[in-house]
């Protein structure tokens, strides 16, 4: 297999801080790879190294067939990069912003015009093409940033939190476009803090303190990674039930989920009947307990617990 993105023991230090720690990655052509991790985990630093913008301290990698250290300039011809704070020109219109970015790669006016029309079509920006960027809502701004990042037809697209702060409908629209790009053969490397977006990726990687602690398809991550057992518990009054569970020595974690409590217990925990009796004795009524499968968010929190 020829990987589109590959990292081998990729490491970056900032003084004493190891921001990315011996990261190994292998990503296939046309894959949507989601990169998850808490703030400061090393996601953006990884992207900056893979884009050839930041030199690794040690280790290396290849992107689009180019070495990230020796051929960092060539990498820029095959990738698009929508950074966490993508630089749109607010006093330029949608068309002018796209022309600016296309003009960095193409010189002929006719080619710039042709690519602009293609990208406006592809990213469905037509209704706002004459608007100044500063007058666009958050969702449309992100669409324009995406259009600008792909105006030179990259094979690989890095997206650093492209949907941060935009509403669910705009996010869904943006994801529809991302799927179309992937179906056309583009490889997507995307960071997000939205767990439901992680489910949309072909594979996801969890990075924690610079280390990749899991990497697999979302379904497999959910069924294999979380060692603890997860239960949904209902009981009245709910706040008291929460307090009792929180203070129980068996309980690892407990959280409110609508009218249920999600309770994390040790791996293979089989003392639920006893726990139920205990709750009953302490005045909790209408108790219902069932074991549930973890969501990506549960796995994320569990990995964070295991890794800290
Ligand atoms: N230029 C720099 N100089 C010093 N430290 C840095 C630099 N860039 C990043 N770091 C540190 O490296 C660590 C990883 O940062 P990075 O921006 O990669 O995290 P992140 O996973 O993208 O976080 P977020 O979710 O908040 O965007 C952090 O501790 C950060 O403070
Ligand atoms: Mg970041």
Separation between Cα atoms, residue 66 and residue 217, nearest integer Å:
26
**Ligand 1 atom closest to the CA of 48, numbered from 1:** 18
SS3 content of the chain, % helix, strand, coil (to 5): 40, 30, 35
pLDDT at residue 62 in the model: 98
Residue nearest to atom 25 of ligand 1 (CA): 39
pLDDT at residue 133 in the model: 96
pLDDT at residue 107 in the model: 87
pLDDT at residue 202 in the model: 97
| Ligand 1 centroid, distance to 204 Cα (angstroms) | 20
- Residue ranges of the chain that CATH labels 3.30.70.100: 226-307
pLDDT at residue 218 in the model: 96
Q: Does CATH place domain 5-223 in 2.60.120.10?
A: no
| Ligand 2 centroid, distance to 216 Cα (angstroms) | 21
Which fold, 226-307?
Answer: Alpha-Beta Plaits (3.30.70)
Separation between Cα atoms, residue 222 and residue 234, nearest integer Å:
23
Residue nearest to atom 16 of ligand 1 (CA): 42
Identify the H or E element spanning 11. Answer: strand 5-14
pLDDT at residue 64 in the model: 97
**Ligand 1 atom closest to the CA of 207, numbered from 1:** 21
pLDDT at residue 265 in the model: 95
pLDDT digits (tens, 9 = 90+) for 51-77: 999 999 999 999 999 999 999 999 999
pLDDT at residue 261 in the model: 96
pLDDT at residue 305 in the model: 84
pLDDT at residue 304 in the model: 86
Do the Cβ atoms of 143 and 191 come closer than 8 Å?
no
| Ligand 2 centroid, distance to 29 Cα (angstroms) | 24
Low-confidence spans in the chain with pLDDT less than 50: none
**Ligand 1 atom closest to the CA of 15, numbered from 1:** 4
pLDDT at residue 183 in the model: 96
Separation between Cα atoms, residue 137 and residue 133, nearest integer Å:
9
Q: Which of 17, 40, 86, 205 to mutate to test the pocket of ligand 1 (most atoms within 8 A of CB)?
A: 40
- Ligand 1 pocket (Cβ < 6 Å) reads 14, 17, 19, 37, 39-45, 84
- Residue ranges of the chain that CATH labels 3.40.50.300: 5-223
pLDDT at residue 306 in the model: 79
């Amino acid at each position: 297999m020829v990987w589109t993105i590959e990292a081998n023991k990729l490491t970056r230090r900032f003084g004493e801080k190891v921001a990315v720690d011996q990261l190994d990655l292998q990503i296939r052509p046309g894959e949507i790879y989601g990169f998850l991790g808490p703030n400061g985990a090393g996601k953006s630093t990884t992207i900056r190294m893979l884009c050839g913008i930041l030199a690794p301290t040690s280790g290396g990698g290849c992107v689009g067939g180019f070495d990230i250290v020796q051929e960092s300039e060539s990498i820029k011809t095959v990738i698009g990069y929508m950074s966490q704070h993508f630089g749109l020109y607010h006093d330029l219109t949608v068309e002018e912003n796209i022309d600016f970015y296309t003009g960095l790669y193409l010189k002929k006016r006719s080619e710039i015009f042709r690519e602009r029309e293609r990208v406006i079509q592809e990213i469905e920006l037509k209704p706002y093409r004459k608007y100044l960027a500063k007058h666009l809502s958050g969702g449309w701004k992100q669409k324009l940033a995406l259009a600008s990042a792909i105006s030179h037809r990259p094979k690989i697209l890095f997206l650093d939190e492209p949907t941060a702060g935009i509403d669910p409908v705009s996010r869904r629209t943006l994801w529809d476009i991302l799927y179309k790009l992937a179906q056309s053969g583009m490889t997507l490397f995307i960071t997000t803090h939205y767990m439901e977006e992680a489910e949309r990726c072909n594979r996801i990687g969890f990075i924690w303190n610079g280390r990749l602690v899991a990497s697999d398809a979302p379904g497999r991550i959910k069924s294999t990674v979380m060692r603890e057992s997860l239960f949904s518990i209902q009981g009245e009054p709910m706040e008291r039930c929460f307090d009792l569970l929180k203070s129980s020595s068996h309980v690892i974690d407990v959280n409110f989920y609508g009218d249920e409590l999600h309770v994390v217990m040790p791996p293979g925990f089989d003392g639920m009947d006893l726990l139920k009796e205990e709750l009953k004795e302490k005045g909790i009524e209408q108790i219902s307990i069932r074991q549930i499968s973890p969501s990506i968010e549960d796995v994320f929190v569990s990995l964070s617990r295991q890794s800290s």
